[in-house]
Amino acid sequence: MNCKSHITSQPDGTASVVHCRPCNLRRRLHEAEVFVCPAGHPIPCNPGCQLKRSLAWWGIRDDGSCGCDSYAAKMDAWGPDECFRRIEEIVEHLREAAEKKGLPFIATAARIMVGRAIEAARAEATPPPG
């Protein structure tokens, strides 16, 4: 059983807060951390969380210059369907963040990465058959 979770962004943009409603547990979630509440309810990683995981694998993290943590929390609140509708907006944010960090940027690669984050979030939120 998945937690009926709620993920919100912190005002300082440093973390998100996950809330396991069955357990009434709240916890700050950092970086690409996966959270499972003490009762064993896994909290699915939404698109922003998935994108942060992918970027962290490449060594790209929010250093405070790009607002990526708060944008990821916004994506998590939007969910997969709204992120899909806003994919160009998300890609534009990634372009601006890459520019601020002095990193190369390829729009097609960013679109693929965002699309994969959306699909991974959908897959993680869907319970296995049977």
49-94 confidence digits (pLDDT tens): 889 888 888 888 878 778 888 898 889 888 899 999 999 999 999 9
State the Cα–Cα distance between residues 93 and 96, nearest whole angstrom.
5
pTM for the model? 0.68
Number of neighbouring beta carbons within 10 Å of residue 125: 15
How open is the CA angle 96-29-91, to the nearest 5 degrees? 20
Sign of CA dihedral 105, 108, 109, 112: positive
pLDDT of residue 2: 45
Mean pLDDT of 15-23: 58
pLDDT of residue 124: 78
Total number of residues shown for the chain: 130
